[in-house]
Amino acid sequence: MQHQAKKRYGQNFLRDKNLLKKIVNQSHILNKDVIEVGPGQGALTSFLAEQAHQLTCFEIDTSLKSILDPIEEQYDNLEIIYKDFMTADLTDLGDDLHVVANVPYYITTPIIFKLIETPQIKTASLMIQKEVCERLIAKPGTKAYNNLSVVMAYHAHVYKMMDVKRHMFVPQPNVDSAVIRIEKRDKALLDPKAEKIFISIVRTAFKQKRKTLVNNWFEAYQIPKEDIINFLKSFDINENIRAEKIAIEQFMKLAGAWTYDI
């Protein structure tokens, strides 16, 4: 059945069965409760339903109902909910959830943060824009390293599962993609107060990447530059350093010792 891909929903459909099977197999969802965000035409959905204990799909485009209904009828463990995932309450879906999805590029970051902020979601395997994938897994000192790299490393173990070329999608997007694996940590690395400080100082540290840590924090918090310099020196950190050179472990130590208002 033909369906015209809708640009406003970022619809690019993947149909290569071998690749779809590979994604599902490497997502380790056998007999687990799974969420698919944006099943589209259901290419991935069937493979997920065959392995999952329970599969819940959130689809915002109701015009896909005529395509997805026959798939839903095939599987007793499949429920398709026609609702925006970003506004969905996941409370009743269980406390050990695993997400597998081909994520629309325009809403990738908000979806990732919802996954991180939802305690019952334990893992996620996401098809995303390759450039975003590189940021998520970037290491200190590299061009792609930014605040998202640090925040993701704090919340989860993150690695790239595979690259996916643009020609494998219909319609073909203008960029290549990658499948990223997010495995959330069992417990927080910092106490709630230090975690709040950590998130804030990381975000402001990268606000203008070409500025030094001192200048970014001075502008964000109006702390005297001399105080920030002395604070950094107490950790043997050069006053001219930029955020891209600071590893997550250093940011955590800084957050633990931070005494300024944020």
Ligand-binding annotation for 102, yes or no, is yes
Q: Tens digit of pLDDT for each residue in 167-214?
A: 666 666 678 899 999 999 999 999 999 999 999 999 999 999 999 999
**Which tokens hold the place of 13?**
């459909």
Ligand-binding annotation for 186, yes or no, is no
Ligand-binding annotation for 40, yes or no, is no
Model confidence at 78: pLDDT above 60: yes
Evaluate whether 59 touches 80 at the Cβ level (below 8 Å): yes
Distance of CA 189 to the CA centre of its chain: 18
CA separation, residue 220 to residues 66, 164, 231 (Å): 51, 39, 16
The domain limits of the chain are 7-184, 192-257
Ligand-binding annotation for 73, yes or no, is no
Q: Work out the pLDDT band at 228, boundaries 50, 70, 90.
A: very high
166 DSSP assignment: G
Distance CA 33, CA 110 (A): 22
User: Rounded to two decimals, what is the model's pTM?
Assistant: 0.88
DSSP codes joined into one string, 60-97: S-GGGHHHHHHHHHH-TTEEEE-S-GGG---GGG-SSE
What percentage of the chain reaches a pLDDT higher than 70?
92
Indicate the average pLDDT of the chain: 92
Q: Which CATH class is domain 192-257?
A: mainly alpha
Ligand-binding annotation for 59, yes or no, is yes
Q: Which CATH architecture has domain 7-184?
A: 3-Layer(aba) Sandwich (3.40)
Model confidence at 99: pLDDT above 50: yes
Q: Tens digit of pLDDT for each residue in 30-63?
A: 999 999 999 988 989 999 999 999 999 999 999 9
Q: What is the pLDDT of residue 20?
A: 92
In degrees and rounded to multiples of 5, residue 205 shows phi and psi of -60, -35
